[in-house]
């Protein structure tokens, strides 16, 4: 059974703080890791698709790293803003190719102005 764990479950930070959270996944049979940003009543927005061990990706003030050997990925937000408040989801494909994703429960980030 594939299991994706995210921590912490929720996080409150002050505007301007930098923060990071973790996604743990099975290290065997790795295909890819997806990060999504989700605001309630909106579509989950794709942030990154990571495929190679040691990958580092960046989008604005958000970046992510990947360690497939130990089965974890970190998402970093530098200088958090209130508009970064959302639930950050990571997901792991069941198999290679276009197969369903197994999601973690997400990390709910609240950035206080």
Q: Computed from CA positions of residues 23, 84, 32, 74, in that sequence, does the dihedral angle turn out positive or negative?
A: negative
Number of residues that bind another protein (CB under 8 A): 25
Spatial CA neighbour of 56 closest among 29, 33, 89, 87: 33
Closest to another protein by CB, 74 vs 103, is 103
Please state, in angstroms and as integers, the Cα–Cα distance from residue 53 to each residue in 3, 13, 60, 66, 72, following that order: 19, 29, 22, 6, 10
Site string for another protein, 44-83 (x = CB under 8 A): x-x--x-x--------------------------------
The CB-of-10 to another protein minimum distance in angstroms stands at 11
Residues that bind another protein (CB under 8 A): 4, 32, 34, 36, 41-44, 46, 49, 51, 89, 91, 93-94, 97-106
């Amino acid at each position: 059974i594939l299991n994706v764990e995210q921590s912490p479950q929720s996080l409150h930070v002050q505007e301007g703080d930098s923060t990071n959270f973790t996604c743990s996944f099975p290290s065997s049979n790795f295909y890819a890791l997806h990060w999504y940003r989700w605001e309630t009543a909106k579509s989950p927005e794709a942030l990154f698709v990571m495929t190679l061990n040691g990958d580092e990706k960046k989008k604005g003030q958000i970046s992510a790293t990947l360690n497939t050997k130990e089965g974890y990925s970190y998402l970093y937000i530098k200088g958090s803003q209130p508009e970064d408040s959302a639930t950050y989801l990571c997901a792991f494909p069941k198999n290679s190719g276009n197969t369903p994703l197994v999601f973690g429960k997400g990390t709910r980030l609240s950035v206080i102005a």
